[in-house]
Structure 1
Amino acid sequence: MMNSLEGKKIWICSLGCRSNQYEGEALANAFADAGAELVDSPEGCDGAVLVSCTVTAMADKKCRQAVRRARRLSRNAVIAACGCWAQKITREEAASLGIAVVVGNRRKGELPGMLAAALGGESPSFAEDRIDVLRSREWDDLSLTRPLLHTRAFVKIQDGCNHFCSYCAIPYVRGFPVSRDPGDVLAEIERIAASGCPEVVLTGVHLGLYGKYGSISLAELVRRVASVEGVRRIRFGSLEPFGLDDELLETLAAAPGFCRHLHLPLQSGSGTVLGRMKRGYGPEEFLALSEKARNFLGDDLHISTDVLVGFPGESEGDFADTLSLMKACRFGKVHVFPFSPREGTEAWSYPGRVPRDTVLRRSSEALSAADDLLARYALRWVGTDVAVLAEETAGNSFQGLTPSFLRVVAKGRAERGEELPVRITRISGDSLRGRRIP
């Protein structure tokens, strides 16, 4: 059946988190191995695959826009949707959008075969594969041989979440926490390193639960990954604050390849709001954790975060507490999100919805504070020499990321995937500028 993919043009669109980016890469590997041609645009494609997100109402909107774009540019393409948004949409909505194949979470490994059947005319006009993820202990059968869509290799090691923050729909669509077999993780990373990719990003829906729902701890997995020949950089995706314990910090500090960057979602600096969010920590605990992380990993550690603005009942004082804690934690990059009510979550029915104009004003203020914080953190690198992994090259310039997850645009020649020393000369917007050191 998979020979139905031979020579077919397949477009893959991955929206949302790094776990989705990994799943898009893994699907790309599966399609390429089956003889398909991966294309950068849906125009003229035979099959369009959406790896979907539903973290906010805007994410849902972007999913629908991606599907409509694919349908508009390739009227005869077979469209498949998988992932979080696909887990919850009705058959009626999928059909109305022109989606022919719907695959939920924990079942994405089945998608290439289902799309091949659809392209070969061997399946009905609508096919789906969705399970009750809240009761599932399955691991989705996806893997990478090499990164095809990125210079860095995202490696998913964990899925699911049972924390149930009051505003979050993700546990309902991602399901019960499961951890990937460490042997499978290491085998995949060995293949990635052998392909010439020097950087791996360990991802998960709730990465810190790897140690609680798995045969080894996250710290032990990092130690094993660090010993794989050819791996020069190790990163984490997002890590919830309660997943960062002393054993993990000690391990990260001792791993020479671990990049000094942690993304620790804060959400709010108000103890009252954090309580209603059911985050499981207060502002003082978060501040202490950020300082502990710097004690282990150095004062140059880049801590980025997420902030949720306009949560029901958030007062001006609560918002002021968030701005204060952002400064106290000395964040670098701060992602600011306006509260998006998600039906089915506890916060959906919370009273005290903040007026839209107030949410927009607070978002603007938080973004302004975020810009100042990032500039302040980036300034410490001006005049220093840093290693940059080239992701894009053009003539006598290239750009890529430093170990501390800052983007650099530099003068000089480079090959894609090459790690080069760069002298940082200035800040420009949200990136650094510099020149390659001979």
Structure 2
Amino acid sequence: MRFYIKTFGCQMNERDSEKVEAILEENGWQKSDDPKTADLLIVNSCAVREKAENKIYSEIGRLRFKNRKAKIVAMGCVAQFAYDRLSKVADIVIGTNTIDEFCRIAKDYSVEGVFIKDKMEEPDHIFPHVKSVVSFVDIMYGCDNFCTYCIVPYTRGREISRKKEAIIDEIKELVDNGTKEVVLLGQNVNSYGKSLGYNFVDLLYEVNKIEGLKRIRFTTSHPKDFSKELIYAIRDLDKLCEHVHLPFQAGSNRILKLMRRKYTIEEYLEKVFLLKSEVKNCSITTDIIVGFPTETENDFEKTLEVVKTVEYDTSFSFKYSPRRFTKAAEMEGQIEEDKKLKRLNILQQLQAEITQKKLKEYEGKIVEVLIEGKSKKGDKLYGRNRQNIVVNVDFRDNIKAGDCLRVKITKALKHSLIGEPI
């Protein structure tokens, strides 16, 4: 039996798809890159924006046209709340908290139906991984923040932290199977452990002790929970990479309050400045929303000022998209689409200039690169430096995935670097 899987969305979705892939392969299924040859067609959906949500329906239609004999599985965030609609176009609908149902599907191809639960019943369960140099590890599920624009608490449920013992055991097993870097995942990793009396910084110190592990990353951080202790951990722990993803979303305090972000831009910048002073060569990336309800030109200019002040290595910026269940969707003062697009273009042009300047500064420098595999750029290998920037290096017989190299950067591209091993 063969399966094909298409994934939309964030690292959490990527990890969920990996769980599915590993479950099926452990039960004798083979992965196919061609949907025409598959018996099971799986679409893992994202609901963070309307455009992302609509992709699952168009993708299911595309797959159904290519292969009418295969069963179709709709899973992920859209499946969690739009299961009634999806059940009309898919044979199986699986929510974010019922991925374990793939164990049943793997053994019994006749399974059909809708499988939805409000919460993860066994958060400490260790799902299998596909062997890789870099591995995602869930440390918590769900979110309690209820930002007024965000649908995640409704698709992922309330926060549940996994016990540290389960996390450590999972990482040790990964290292034994060749993983060199782990990325700790959560909708808000900084709030990990609140229900356990054990915090995120404590966990980082424990993970840093694991023998054979070379690097640790984490995502995503919420600024309100981004502590001095975490900054000091990034400074002091040798395996913890100098890269932080810290979404600020908007530069206007008025808009931040409407978003229910629970910090001011002054508080945010104070943490960024401390991070920059304590952690040398730290790259900072962010998320930004433009066109939130009632956003004025002055509000937007404040967002641009933050980008100029911080000089993010890169940013992920989006037009505000009304999402069902959220407070912002009901707000007055919705911004016209053409105005949103204009602001987004201005913001992305500014970020492109900053990104290019910062990448150019790497030319001639020597960086540490963890090789992950073959590059799409010709006869090269690729990996990332500690700042999470992709580096392409010339292929050599004595270099393999998992090697940690010193690389001299020879050229900056639009979003990546080229270098020579030394």
Matches within 5 A, 1:129-278: 129-133=115-119, 138-139=122-123, 141-144=125-128, 146-148=129-131, 151-278=133-260
What's 1:128 paired with?
A: 114
* Matching residue within 102, 109, 117 for 1:111: 102
Question: How much has 1:62 moved relative to structure 2?
Answer: 1.9
Q: CA RMSD in A?
A: 1.8
Question: How much has 1:215 moved relative to structure 2?
Answer: 4.5
8 A contact 2:140–2:186 mirrored in 1: yes
Q: Deviations over 1:263-300 (max 9, x none)?
A: 011110111111111111111111111111122322x1
What's 1:302 paired with?
A: 283
* AA aligned opposite 2:401: R
| Residue 342 (1) aligns with residue 323 (2) | yes
Q: Secondary structure at the match of 1:12?
A: strand
CA distance in 1: counterparts of 2:211 and 2:5, whole angstroms:
30
What's 2:385 paired with?
A: 402
8 A contact 2:253–2:264 mirrored in 1: yes
Question: How much has 1:165 moved relative to structure 2?
Answer: 0.6
Q: Secondary structure at the match of 2:195?
A: coil
CA distance in 2: counterparts of 1:243 and 1:358, whole angstroms:
33
* AA aligned opposite 2:353: D
Q: Secondary structure at the match of 1:80?
A: strand
Gap regions ≥5 residues in structure 1 = 1-7
Change (3 A) 1:176 1:137: farther
8 A contact 1:330–1:373 mirrored in 2: yes
Question: How much has 1:396 moved relative to structure 2?
Answer: 4.4
8 A contact 1:108–1:141 mirrored in 2: no
Q: TM-score, normalization: structure 1?
A: 0.91
8 A contact 2:140–2:159 mirrored in 1: yes
CA distance in 2: counterparts of 1:344 and 1:371, whole angstroms:
34
| Residue 313 (1) aligns with residue 305 (2) | no
What's 1:52 paired with?
A: 45
What's 1:331 paired with?
A: 312
Change (3 A) 1:137 1:112: closer
* AA aligned opposite 1:332: D
Question: How much has 1:427 moved relative to structure 2?
Answer: 1.2
| Residue 76 (1) aligns with residue 57 (2) | no
8 A contact 2:27–2:106 mirrored in 1: no
CA distance in 1: counterparts of 2:180 and 2:421, whole angstroms:
19
Question: How much has 1:208 moved relative to structure 2?
Answer: 1.6
- Percent identity, aligned pairs only? 30
Change (3 A) 1:38 1:137: closer
8 A contact 1:137–1:176 mirrored in 2: no
Q: Secondary structure at the match of 2:139?
A: strand
Identify which range, 319-328 or 64-73, moves more after superposition.
64-73
What's 1:431 paired with?
A: 416
* AA aligned opposite 1:361: K
8 A contact 2:124–2:163 mirrored in 1: no
Question: How much has 1:68 moved relative to structure 2?
Answer: 2.4
What's 1:377 paired with?
A: 358
* AA aligned opposite 1:208: N
| Residue 417 (1) aligns with residue 388 (2) | no
What's 1:3 paired with?
A: none
* AA aligned opposite 1:109: D
CA distance in 1: counterparts of 2:163 and 2:42, whole angstroms:
27
8 A contact 2:49–2:321 mirrored in 1: yes
8 A contact 2:83–2:93 mirrored in 1: no
CA distance in 1: counterparts of 2:175 and 2:125, whole angstroms:
20
Gap regions ≥5 residues in structure 2 = none
Q: Deviations over 1:380-429 (max 9, x none)?
A: 32211112222332674222211101111222423233222211122111
Matches within 5 A, 1:91-102: 91=84, 93-97=85-89, 99-102=90-93
8 A contact 1:261–1:403 mirrored in 2: yes
Change (3 A) 1:380 1:53: same
CA distance in 1: counterparts of 2:181 and 2:34, whole angstroms:
26
Q: TM-score, normalization: structure 2?
A: 0.94
CA distance in 1: counterparts of 2:333 and 2:92, whole angstroms:
40
| Residue 18 (1) aligns with residue 11 (2) | yes
Q: Secondary structure at the match of 1:96?
A: coil
Equivalent pairs, count: 418
CA distance in 1: counterparts of 2:298 and 2:183, whole angstroms:
37
CA distance in 2: counterparts of 1:50 and 1:311, whole angstroms:
29
What's 1:4 paired with?
A: none
| Residue 280 (1) aligns with residue 262 (2) | yes
Identify which range, 282-291 or 24-33, moves more after superposition.
24-33
Identify which range, 186-195 or 104-113, moves more after superposition.
104-113
Question: How much has 1:50 moved relative to structure 2?
Answer: 2.4
